[in-house]
Amino acid sequence: MCRTASERPKHNPDPDEDEDEDAGEPQGPRIRDTPMDLQLEAIANTVALHPTRDVLACGDVDGDVYAFSYSCTEGENRELWSSGHHLKSCRQLRFTADGEKLYSVSRDKAVHQLDVERGQLVTRIRGAHGAPINSLLLVDENIVATGDDGGTLKV
């Protein structure tokens, strides 16, 4: 049977020696290999990572968009903001190359542009497609390509 190092019995050659020498010293925050899990109220459909910061955006089936800062230091994940601008399921998110804006598309046929710092809606294109939008590509700061459930692509 394999055991991890913490599960193996420790051999203590001197039984009088205190096994817990550092018990009186305060322990710092625990560092993990990966950040702790983030929990949403609804099923997540899409995730995007900020290009330069430890920020993750996600969109859910209720149309909500969330931004979280994340860290491998235990207890350091936190919600930065949430936005309920979409009326139906948020299907895809993309950060701009400079990380200042976040685009989202939805089953409600809309394209949204959000300010990343504040989580506020900057631009909304309602009825951008005739069918629910499911795909988004940021070509550059001036060109956005989208695709919908009917097979239509728009630039």
> Tens digits of per-residue pLDDT, 47-80?
999 999 999 999 999 999 999 998 888 778 899 9
Percent of the chain having pLDDT more than 70?
A: 83
Spatial contact of 127 and 109, defined as CB atoms under 8 Å apart: yes
pTM, two decimals, is 0.77
Instruction: Give residue 2's identity as a one-letter amino acid code.
Output: C
Q: Which range among 20-24, 26-30, 94-98, 138-142 has the greatest average pLDDT?
A: 94-98
Report the percent of the chain where pLDDT is more than 90.
Answer: 64
Walk me through the domains of the chain, giving residue ranges and CATH numbers.
44-154 (2.130.10.10)
Q: How many other β-carbons are positioned within 10 Å of the β-carbon of residue 24?
A: 6
Q: Whose CA is closest to 94, among 116, 78, 77, 73?
A: 116
Tell me, what amino acid is at 153? L
13-25 pLDDT, tens digit each? 555 555 555 566 6
